[in-house]
Amino acid sequence: MPSIAKHIEQLPSNQIREITQAAWATPNAIVLSIGEPAFPVPRHILDAGMAALDRDDTNYTPNEGIAPLRRSFAEWFGRRNRMDVTQHRVYVTAGAQQGLHLAMSMLLDAGDEVLIPNPGYPTFAMTAQLVHARPVSYPLRPENGFQPHISDLEELVSSRTRLLVLNSPSNPLGAVFSEELTRDLVRFAQRHDLWILSDECYEAFTYGVPHVSPARFDATRVLTSLTLSKTFGLTGLRIGALVLPEGLGAEFNAVMESIVSCVGAAQQYAAIAALTGPTDYVETAAHHYRSNRDAAAAELSSLNIKYLEAQGAFYLWADMSHATGGDVRSWVRTFLAEQGVAVAPGTAFGSQGEGWIRIALCTDRESLLTGVSRLPKR
């Protein structure tokens, strides 16, 4: 039998999926390991998608997405970031993950280096490897509040560096970049003539601080990845967008055509309804996540467990090094087996996550507090 490609053999497994699938196979497990919004999708969004199917709107759509959805994304993104964004810069994708893949496919040659956060979402590194690029992790340290430091980036940049990946609000950390830090990161990219890929999946969920998009400071080098998976709970519909600098449309269409051609029409019409309709879902979800954060943080404090105070997204990043014995990946499996609770191991997000866990706050309050209460006291 012929061998598969070497770069595929070297792709790491996703430890979030690893523990979550084990939890799904465990009767009565409390699953706090995956970011799956727990609210039902608003009826008007479902109706818009079903109406497209009822009228047999099941043909190909343009590579870049239908014009009304591109316009809706442009208005949403521009309004929330106080920017003037035209629909011609917006390209519809099958979720944020495909957006990351498409962006890296357009920007990177084999052997190019990509600066990715550590801890950071695991597919940043996986996607870079998939397109034959080399992920280079920049450390986010607890003593710095898990915020990037320009000095660390300066030490890592090389002649092969092409792309800086940013993620604010952060998954897994819940950290949010200030306007000053965001501006400094853009200036760093300008000094070294780098592209920026900004993952803004959680832009709708910040608590007491604003979300600041790097695109506000440089529209010529920043690609912004958006999704409705978290904002409106549409994880299974796979609908998102890339906001690109001017002039990359032909390249996007060529890459999109070679991978999936287009996103399904029904999902796109559902997305229009989400972006242009009532925002009650977003407001309710934000309140739920914030109150869950506060309740879970209080429970962690009662157990004397250190954690990062999340300013955004819907996760808590907690230090379990007193219990994990230097192998948090194995510990979460034992914790699931013994206590019936699944949490994501910090090493799913990079080496800097050893000893830490990510707790998803998007479940119901009772399950969340029951699960957190079973963590071993420090």
The CATH code of the domain at 6-41+280-373 is: 3.90.1150.10
User: So what's the pLDDT on residue 38?
Assistant: 83
At 85 the pLDDT is 95
Confidence band of 166 (pLDDT split at 50, 70, 90): very high
Identify the pLDDT of residue 248.
94
Q: Which pLDDT score is estimated for 277?
A: 97
Please indicate whether residue 10 or residue 110 has the higher confidence score (pLDDT).
110
Distance (Å, rounded) from C-alpha 324 to C-alpha 322?
6
pLDDT at 251: 95
> Tens digit of pLDDT for each residue in 249-271?
999 999 999 999 999 999 999 99
- Give the pLDDT confidence of 312-332 residue by residue, as tens digits: 999 999 999 999 999 999 999
Tokens of 262: 């287009």
pTM: 0.95
Residues 62-88: tens digit of each pLDDT: 999 999 999 999 999 999 999 999 999
pLDDT score, position 33: 97
197-255 confidence digits (pLDDT tens): 999 999 999 999 999 999 999 999 999 999 999 999 999 999 999 999 999 999 999 99
Q: Does the pLDDT of residue 351 top 90, yes or no?
A: yes
Distance of CA 378 to the CA centre of its chain: 30
Binned at pLDDT 50, 70 and 90, residue 10 comes out as confident
Predicted confidence band of residue 9 (pLDDT cuts 50, 70, 90): confident
Average pLDDT, the chain: 96
Residue ranges covered by each domain of the chain: 6-41+280-373, 43-276
With cut-offs at 50, 70 and 90, classify the pLDDT of residue 347: very high
The torsion angle over the Cα atoms of residues 122, 124, 125 and 131, rounded to 10 degrees, is 140
Taking domain 43-276, whether its CATH number is 3.40.50.720 is answered by no
Confidence of residue 5 (pLDDT cuts 50, 70, 90): confident
6 has pLDDT over 90? no
User: Which whole number is the average pLDDT over 160-178?
Assistant: 98
The arithmetic mean of pLDDT across residues 6-13, rounded, is: 84
* pLDDT for 25: 95
Q: What is the pLDDT at residue 153?
A: 98
3-state secondary structure the chain: CCCCCHHHHCCCCCHHHHHHHHHHCCCCCEEECCCCCCCCCCHHHHHHHHHHHHCCCCCCCCCCCCHHHHHHHHHHHHHHHCCCCCHHHEEEECHHHHHHHHHHHHHCCCCCEEEEEECCCCHHHHHHHHCCCEEEEEECCHHHCCCCCHHHHHHHCCCCEEEEEEECCCCCCCCCCCHHHHHHHHHHHHHCCCEEEEECCCCCCECCCCCCCHHHCCCCCEEEEEECCCCCCCCCCCCEEEECCCCCHHHHHHHHHHHCCCCCHHHHHHHHHHHHCCCHHHHHHHHHHHHHHHHHHHHHHHCCCCEECCCECCEEEEECHHHHCCCHHHHHHHHHHHHCEEEEEHHHHCHHHCCEEEEECCCCHHHHHHHHHCCCCC
Q: In this model, does residue 305 exceed pLDDT 90? A: yes
Model confidence at 3: pLDDT above 90: no
- Does residue 8 surpass a pLDDT of 90? no
